[in-house]
A and B are shown apart, each in its own frame.
Chain A
Amino acid sequence: MPPLFIRLRIMAYSHFGYGQRFAVQLGRNWVVLFLVILVVLFSFTGRGFFSPKTLNNILLTSSPALLLAAGETFVIITGGIDLSVGFVRGLISVISAIIMRDLYARGYSPSFCIPLGIVVGLALGLLPGLINGILVARFRVPPFIATLGMYGVANGFALRFSKGFPITFLPPEVGQIGNGFFAYFLPGRGLSFFARHADIVEGEMRNLIGIVPYAIVVVAVLLLIFAFILSRTQFGQHVYAIGGNIDAARRAGIPVERDLIRVYMISSFFAALSGVMYTLIFSIGTHTQFSASLELFAIAAVVIGGASLMGGKGSIGGTTLGVLVLALLEIGFLMSGILPFYRYIAVGTILIFAVVIDQTFPEIIYE
């Protein structure tokens, strides 16, 4: 008897017959379909699901995950995996917050210590990726092990710097940057750019609508840049080639080691950016809890978005869809009054489901 996954395929196709083309389309776009179903479902179960505020919330909740997942996309396309992103994010959040807090406490102006915290955090954020990349590319350590080691190291350092407590007492301007909007709209008083309307009365605060948060703009711009790099540059082509067949890539003269190191640096840069953004949005620096499992969600999003852990395929666009599915699940569950822990079950199930589809119907992805 053929293995189960072959039997499943035979079953599916004997039923579809002429509908194979339809099946292929369905399989390819099941994430989009799923997203639509989720939106419809939650618009029934959650009150006020369709509102600018919910949309903003979905975008804001997903932005840190989106950053981690975008970096992870590069790594997974090369056939690797980066397990350290969650803790690198926590480490950089703590470091940037400590820099801001300590300089501010010594009397430096916020306009000096906030940019310094951001820049130093991002620069240090390249380091874990450099080490991961060197271990993977030059020393041929399996990516899983190299980044699992970094997972421990980053978590240890984050706990050491923060002593297990969130870093607080940052300059108050931090939150204004992190939670700021490009424009504010107040009914009856019109638009105001970059800052709230002057002399707002207490009652008017509730009607104030923020338009386009800074955080989302930063994320969107970076995603577009890196989507361009992945799909339109030579480096991006190399990333796919390495994931497709690393030996062939090497023989074709692709600088595999250099490119792999860059890929891991991109991943940890995105993790660092996510950490800095956390600090800016919440005005605290916090190490990541073990149970937060951020790397689970990042990897799940990439895989749901159509990447294969064997390497060679995946895209930033697909990953963005994957992240939106997960963010929608989180917000939708919350608004429908379902315990947030069901999200973990849903994510785990969807992840397995995505890979089973990928595994059982390969022609859905490669025609």
Chain B
Amino acid sequence: MVLSEKGRERLYLLGKSWIFLFLLGEAVIFSFIGTGFFSAKNFQNILVASTTILLLAAGETFVIITGGIDLSVGFVMGLFCVISAKIIVSLQALGFSPVVSLVVSIAGTLLLGLLPGLLNGVLVAKLRVPPFIATFGMYGIAYGLSEILCNNVPIAGLPSLVGFIGNGYLLYYLPGRGFTWFAPPEGLGRGEVRALLALFPNVFLFAILVVLIFAFILSRTQFGQHVYAIGGNIDAARRAGIPVERDLIRVYMISSFFAALSGVMYTLRFVTGRADAGSARMLDSVVAVVIGGASLYGGTGNMIGSIIGTLVIGVLETGMVNLGLPTYNKYVYVGVILVLAVLIDQFFPEMVRKGE
């Protein structure tokens, strides 16, 4: 395409921000045809509903920037959802208090959560197994393990504290009675419950905190620079003295750490441990990263893009639920958006990469 300098600059801006415009468009459409789109409650619903995709996509961002892919995240999430629930239930049966068992379970799960990533990373970095196959193998292994651990039945019998944290909010505001932290004020009348305003869902708050820390790591640290370098040209990175193998292993460990965290969050929110907790979410997380501007060939992508990509899916999902539309249409739209995003990337490289 022959373009003036100014036109090229504009196209570049459009290419960088089309997904943002798309998100705005979604918000406008849903606010016209739905009711109550613009409300604190609805926005928080969107955020809570997007937590799983957000966490999986954050880990997937690292992997995709290195030019790899992690297909195991959905079932690794399911595995650690089951494991965390199982730890709580068994510690409680041993007579530990809910608080102790919850803390031990979260810490233990997150630690164990590094293991699938370690395996994936060693396979990819040291044994040169294509990421697609290594993580596909892990996908099968994680699913098999989780179903065996929970005997194909969701794990129940978790203490109510779990749901209290998982479905709680940081702040509660009751007009006339002010703010309270963590729990709604006691002794509410029936009318007051309806007026109660809950702010900042715990689960989302914690998730976004971790994601922002990793966004910092990706964009501001040497390790983050290495991740981009590996994705840009792995041989050049190796020749430049970057410890490619070590960094790749770390990247896959980050991805499975996020999957495990997402599994813990699922346990907290739904007060159950399910093997299929994240099975449908692997696609969503890859889509979020790709429509957020990452290329599957590696080297491009960033956390803000992935967050916006997540919101595009989250708004779509929540909006359709609010309209009473069956959610299965979502799969169709997500698939179409994915292909659209790559087509734009393919046909207007000058919109995405500067100076081409």
Partner-B contacts on A (CB < 8 A): 3-5, 81, 135, 139-142, 144-146, 148-153, 155-157, 159-160, 163-164, 290-291, 293, 296, 299-300, 303, 309-310, 339, 341-349, 351-352, 355-356, 359-360
Chain A positions within 8 Å of B266 at CB level: none
Whether the Cβ atoms of A351 and B338 lie closer than 8 Å is no
If A4-B126, A152-B335 touch, whether A348 touches B140 (CB-CB below 8 Å) is: yes
Interface residues of B in 136-180 (CB under 8 A from A): 136-141, 143-145, 147-148, 152
Complex formed: what's the CA distance from A241 to B130 in Å?
Answer: 21
- Nearest CB on B from A118, distance (A): 25
Whether the Cβ atoms of B147 and A344 lie closer than 8 Å is yes
Chain B positions within 8 Å of A163 at CB level: 326
Complex formed: what's the CA distance from A65 to B91 in Å?
Answer: 42
Whether the Cβ atoms of B332 and A156 lie closer than 8 Å is yes
Q: Nearest 6 pairs between A and B by C-beta?
A: A152-B335, A348-B140, A344-B144, A156-B331, A156-B332, A159-B328
**Can you name 22 A-B residue pairings with CB atoms under 8 Å?**
A3-B126, A3-B128, A3-B245, A141-B339, A142-B297, A145-B290, A152-B334, A153-B335, A156-B331, A157-B332, A160-B326, A309-B133, A341-B147, A342-B144, A342-B148, A348-B141, A348-B144, A352-B137, A355-B129, A356-B127, A359-B127, A360-B127
Whether the Cβ atoms of A291 and B143 lie closer than 8 Å is yes
Q: Is the interface of A mostly helix, strand, loop or mixed?
A: helix
If A5-B126, A155-B331, A160-B328 touch, whether A341 touches B339 (CB-CB below 8 Å) is: no
From B46-54, B220-228, B279-287, give the one contacting chain A. Answer: B279-287
Chain A positions within 8 Å of B138 at CB level: 348
Partner-A contacts on B (CB < 8 A): 69, 123, 126-130, 132-134, 136-141, 143-145, 147-148, 152, 245, 275-276, 279-280, 283, 286-287, 290, 296-297, 326, 328-336, 338-339, 342-343, 346-347
Chain A positions within 8 Å of B143 at CB level: 291, 293, 341, 344
Complex formed: what's the CA distance from A166 to B238 in Å?
Answer: 53
Whether the Cβ atoms of A139 and B296 lie closer than 8 Å is no
Chain B positions within 8 Å of A156 at CB level: 328-333, 335
Complex formed: what's the CA distance from A41 to B328 in Å?
Answer: 44
Chain A positions within 8 Å of B141 at CB level: 344-345, 348-349
Partner of A4, one of B127, B139, B334, B339: B127
Chain A positions within 8 Å of B126 at CB level: 3-5
Whether the Cβ atoms of A148 and B335 lie closer than 8 Å is yes
Whether the Cβ atoms of B132 and A309 lie closer than 8 Å is yes
Whether the Cβ atoms of A148 and B140 lie closer than 8 Å is no
* Chain B residue at minimum C-beta to C-beta distance from A295: B136
Whether the Cβ atoms of A348 and B346 lie closer than 8 Å is no
Whether the Cβ atoms of A5 and B128 lie closer than 8 Å is yes
Whether the Cβ atoms of B331 and A153 lie closer than 8 Å is yes
- Nearest CB on A from B135, distance (A): 10
Complex formed: what's the CA distance from A293 to B133 in Å?
Answer: 14
* Chain A residue at minimum C-beta to C-beta distance from B74: A290
- Nearest CB on A from B121, distance (A): 12
Chain A positions within 8 Å of B275 at CB level: 291
Chain B positions within 8 Å of A144 at CB level: 69, 132, 296
* Chain B residue at minimum C-beta to C-beta distance from A158: B328
Whether the Cβ atoms of B329 and A135 lie closer than 8 Å is no
Chain A positions within 8 Å of B276 at CB level: 290-291
If A155-B331, A156-B328 touch, whether A145 touches B140 (CB-CB below 8 Å) is: no
* Chain B residue at minimum C-beta to C-beta distance from A308: B130
Whether the Cβ atoms of B296 and A149 lie closer than 8 Å is no
If A5-B128, A152-B331, A159-B328 touch, whether A145 touches B339 (CB-CB below 8 Å) is: yes
Whether the Cβ atoms of A151 and B148 lie closer than 8 Å is no
Whether the Cβ atoms of B128 and A153 lie closer than 8 Å is no
* Chain B residue at minimum C-beta to C-beta distance from A344: B144
Whether the Cβ atoms of B338 and A145 lie closer than 8 Å is yes
Complex formed: what's the CA distance from A342 to B333 in Å?
Answer: 35
Whether the Cβ atoms of B339 and A339 lie closer than 8 Å is no
Whether the Cβ atoms of A146 and B145 lie closer than 8 Å is no
If A291-B276, A345-B141 touch, whether A164 touches B296 (CB-CB below 8 Å) is: no
Complex formed: what's the CA distance from A164 to B327 in Å?
Answer: 11
Partner of A5, one of B127, B147, B339, B346: B127
Partner of A290, one of B280, B297, B347: B280
Complex formed: what's the CA distance from A318 to B148 in Å?
Answer: 31
Whether the Cβ atoms of B286 and A148 lie closer than 8 Å is yes
